[in-house]
Amino acid sequence: MTVARNNLAGAGLNGAAFFAGGSTDNGTTFSKVVDVYDALGNIWYNGNLSEARYMLAAAAGGGKVLFAGGKGAAGVSKTIDIFDATKNIWSTAQLSEARAGLAAAAVGNTVIFAGGKGAAGVSKTVDMYNALTNTWTTAQLSVARTGLVAAAAGTKIVFAGGDNDAGVPLNTVDIYDVNTKAWTTATLSSAKDHFAGAGAGSKIVFAGGNTVAAGLVNTADIYDTSTNTWTTSQISEAREDLAAAGIPNKIVFGGGYKGGNSSTVVDVYDIKSGTWTVMSINTGRNMLAAATAEFDIVFAGGQSISGASKEVDVFTLSN
């Protein structure tokens, strides 16, 4: 990437992986850089957000990539930067509430940003964007939390875990069905934070993280959106602050902090066979971002033993 940074956000759209924002020094200096990897042309290009910030969230839907919230020099932000891939233009909007540490995911034309922490504390606010009509509505999570994780598959957008206002990890899961427009709840197998999640096909996997009882964990909670059932599995190494992304039949978890140093491990879940394989990124790092570009999974930035990283690992996987 053009600038080394951690706590950036990533999202994939139309064969391109977008990485934006972040901090070069864990929250003192903030970046507005957007690095874009075009998998079809195997080229990189870059631009800028309207506002430099880290701990923002990103998702893509309806031909648009959105980067929302975060924290910058002026404090928590409600800024949303929107890239319209069809028109090749950027625009801005605002969240209903300024906050950082929120999570985002999308299905079709529906993009949702939820939770986070603002000036008033941990939030349960949900901002919902319809990319087709370019309109916003709001809702609420069942429980306010920050540092939660979002993923989507099938017709469902899922928000899991995170911390309450006292910094205590939760096992709460909020599920939104874009067809019925109804919210339901579930629970993870354990209360945790600093984990990662992604979806592929009809499956969503949330893996890794930190729990109060057991510390770093390798637990993977697998949600089948077609049957509305949950099962558990394990990634190969317990770690936190990892990143995840999915292609149609695989969900990939990379990097993270394993205690003492950062991890190079990449765990690949095949949703068809239900099996795991292990690969590795070139340099161990945590607080990195992941995004999908066609059949490529891209891991970018993060924090290595040497400090903020500009390194990128691209995995081209058979589907």
| pLDDT single digits (tens) 171-193 | 999 999 999 999 999 999 999 99
* pLDDT surpasses 80 at 56: yes
Residues 6 or more apart whose CB falls under 8 angstroms from that of 169 comprise: 161, 162, 163, 191, 192, 193, 209, 210, 211, 212
- Residue 26: which pLDDT band, with cuts at 50, 70 and 90? confident
Say if CB 207 and CB 198 are below 8 A apart: no
Distance, CA of 31 to chain centre: 18
Say if CB 81 and CB 89 are below 8 A apart: no
Question: From CA 228, how far away is CA 211, in angstroms rounded?
Answer: 25
- How high does pLDDT run on average in the chain? 97
SS3 199: strand
* pLDDT surpasses 80 at 198: yes
- Residue 318: which pLDDT band, with cuts at 50, 70 and 90? confident
Task: Give the other-Cβ count within 10 Å of 230's Cβ.
Answer: 16
Say if CB 161 and CB 148 are below 8 A apart: yes
Task: Give the other-Cβ count within 10 Å of 123's Cβ.
Answer: 28
| pLDDT single digits (tens) 263-307 | 999 999 999 999 999 999 999 999 999 999 989 999 999 999 999
SS3 289: strand
Domains in the chain, please, with CATH? 9-316 (2.120.10.80)
| pLDDT single digits (tens) 106-133 | 999 999 999 999 999 999 999 999 999 9
β-bridge partners, 268: 252, 277
User: Nearest to residue 81, comparing CAs of 140, 141, 19?
Assistant: 19
Residue 319: per-residue pLDDT:
65
Helices (H) and strands (E) in the chain, counts: 0, 35
The arithmetic mean of pLDDT across residues 51-64, rounded, is: 98
Extract the tokens encoding 312.
Answer: 């990128």
The arithmetic mean of pLDDT across residues 151-173, rounded, is: 98
Say if CB 145 and CB 125 are below 8 A apart: no
Task: Give the other-Cβ count within 10 Å of 151's Cβ.
Answer: 25
The arithmetic mean of pLDDT across residues 97-103, rounded, is: 98
* pLDDT surpasses 90 at 84: yes
- Residue 237: which pLDDT band, with cuts at 50, 70 and 90? very high
* pLDDT surpasses 70 at 105: yes
The arithmetic mean of pLDDT across residues 184-211, rounded, is: 98
Share of the chain above pLDDT 70, in %: 100
Q: Are strands 103-107 and 121-122 parallel, antiparallel or unpaired?
A: unpaired
Residue 317: per-residue pLDDT:
87
Per the listing, tokens 């404090």 go with 75
* pLDDT surpasses 70 at 102: yes
Question: From CA 220, how far away is CA 316, in angstroms rounded?
Answer: 23
> Greater confidence, 162 or 294?
162
SS3 37: strand
Question: From CA 289, how far away is CA 35, in angstroms rounded?
Answer: 12
Sign of CA dihedral 193, 150, 141, 202: negative
* pLDDT surpasses 80 at 93: yes
232 — alpha (psi -120 to 50), left (phi > 0) or beta? beta
- Residue 200: which pLDDT band, with cuts at 50, 70 and 90? very high
Question: From CA 91, how far away is CA 284, in angstroms rounded?
Answer: 35
Share of the chain above pLDDT 90, in %: 97
